[in-house]
Amino acid sequence: MTLTLLDIYNSVASQAWSMFDDEVDTQAEFENVLISSINKALSDLWCSTDFPFRRKTEALLLMEGEQGYPLPDGNLVERNVNGKKGYFVSIDGTYLEYTEDVPNSSSEEQGTPKYFRIDNQNIYFYPVPDKFYEVSTEYYTLAVGSDETGKTLYSLKNDTDTIDVPEKLEELFKNALITKTMLYAIASEHDENYSSYKKQFETAYKLLLKYTNGISPDRKVVF
């Protein structure tokens, strides 16, 4: 099974609720509100923690004399280096040292990069590459899925757009997404169904965490 927007839409539309009975005039308006709620819930759920399935690898191709490059589409994976913050950024298996400042050596010095810093969604290498290098990076992607052509997506628009979740976790993810969507769709804590969906979401989310990150199901859920 693959999670598609149509699958999520149909599941959410079949849930018990009262909000839309009097407040939505047309089917088109209903669909727009529902898809918007799905995407809000998906964004919240996707970025709520560093799910293992969000972890990706991307190679940055460094060119001679070029110091700055765009970061991958998410947060670099952190690593602890003798009590200091580091990241999974390496050349030929050797990790580069993270620095928040320009190293003492001249910013124009060329050689094999040993350091890097991050500024305004770009990554800068020091020394400046003196030839071609391939840098391996690991990061947690912000992309939630893809369309029929394989294009990366950050929100769902078409019925066949899919969510990039391992098959064995699809049902757990789907349950959390549906119940979180209902909280956005209902939009009022005073609605008779709101508290029920909130409890359902908390249960579904804890189960999702348990079977992805190995986190205790007793963990308090905060949004």
How many residues are there in the chain?
223
Each residue's pLDDT, cut to its tens digit, for the chain (223 residues) gives: 689 999 999 999 888 764 454 555 667 777 888 999 999 999 999 999 999 999 999 999 999 999 999 999 999 999 988 888 899 999 999 999 999 887 665 567 899 999 999 998 999 999 999 999 999 999 999 999 999 999 999 999 999 999 999 999 999 999 999 999 999 988 677 777 888 999 999 999 999 999 987 544 444 444 4
Q: What is the 3-state secondary structure (H, E, C) of 112-177?
A: CCCEEEEECCEEEEECEECCCEEEEEEEEECCCEECCCCCEECCCCCCCCEECCCHHHHHHHHHHH
Q: How far is CA 52 from CA 72, 153, 199, in A?
A: 17, 18, 25
Q: What is the 3-state secondary structure (H, E, C) of 14-44?
A: CCCCCCHHHHCCCHHHHHHHHHHHHHHHHHH
Asked if 133 contacts 65 with a C-beta cutoff of 8 angstroms, the reply is no
Tokens of 41: 């819930």
Q: Which of 207, 141, 216 is nearest to 177 (CA)?
A: 207
Asked if 127 contacts 113 with a C-beta cutoff of 8 angstroms, the reply is yes
